[in-house]
Amino acid sequence: MEENRPNMPLLGDPFPDIRVQTTHGPMRIPGDLKGDWFVLFSHPADFTPVCTTEFVAFQKRYGEFRELGCRLIGMSVDQVFSHIKWIEWIKSELDVDIEFPIIAANDSMAMKLGMLHPGKGTNTVRAVFVVDSRGIVRLIMYYPQEVGRNMDEIVRAVRALRVSDEQGAVPAGWPNNELIGDRIIVPPAGTVEDARKRLREYECFDWWFCHKPLEK
């Protein structure tokens, strides 16, 4: 029983090296994506209503992800011919051209990434992995089959991660936080002297909660 449990990578782990067959041909992930961020997301099955709405929503934001230097990759345990037929249907019936590759995973690969739930049969759950340009897992979202994802939040999360790497932590709802808008949080002081300086150098609610302008 223990052998069949998912063993998904954790935040800060290298994304597992996998060789996959996709609608764009064979790929090695993360090797073939070196230098780019990527979002790998799994869906329960092709030709299902919720998954169709998700693929359309991801494609509608494809340009936003590319502007962030981020690739999109879909994945389920359906075979490649099913993926191809499904995206042909989306194009012909919904007039949306799916530009990103879709992986045809096997059960062991999906289990390796924690995308198969033992209590949900063979369908992959709605997992999202955000991986940086070094191949490190930076964010994981895990949804039940019954709930479609919010793609604006995934775009926001990628943008927030990229900004936080360069400038510092970002607040809740960034860039539209109720207290400080799109400003960046200054790391808390580590000494008494630093705490005094914070109040002189930055805008602060208190020395442990200071913020600075976002660098455009």
The proportion of the chain whose per-residue pLDDT surpasses 90, expressed as a percent, equals: 77
Nearest to 9 by CA among 140, 154, 158: 140
- The pTM (predicted TM-score) of the whole model is 0.90
pLDDT tops 50 at residue 27: yes
**How many CA atoms are closer than 13 Å to the CA of 110, on its beta-carbon side?**
26
d(CA 54, CA 128): 12
Mean pLDDT estimate for the chain? 91
The two structure tokens encoding residue 14 = 């290298």
Domain ranges of the chain: 2-148, 168-216
Cβ–Cβ < 8 Å for 86, 46: yes
Query: 86: Cβ–Cβ under 8 A, 6 or more apart, which residues?
Result: 46, 47, 52, 78
Confidence of residue 3 (pLDDT cuts 50, 70, 90): very low
Nearest in space to 32 (alpha carbons), one of 42, 49, 17: 17
Q: One of 51, 70, 204, 210 is an active-site residue; which one? A: 51
- Please report the pLDDT score of residue 156 as a whole number: 98
Report whether pLDDT(121) > 60: no
As a CATH number, domain 2-148 is 3.40.30.10
Active site includes 204? no
pLDDT mean over 11-21: 93
Comparison of pLDDT for 167 and 1, the residue scoring more: 167
pLDDT at 1 (0 to 100): 38
Residue 22 has pLDDT above 70, yes or no: yes
The reported pLDDT for the residue numbered 152 is 98
CATH number of 168-216: 3.30.1020.10
pLDDT at residue 118 greater than cutoff 70: no
33: its two tokens: 């994506």
Contacts of 93 (CB under 8 A, 6+ apart): none
Q: Residues 126-150: pLDDT tens digits? A: 889 999 999 999 999 988 888 999 9
User: Where is average pLDDT lowest: 39-48, 94-103, 104-113, 197-206?
Assistant: 104-113
Report the distance separating Cα 72 and Cα 41, nearest Å.
8
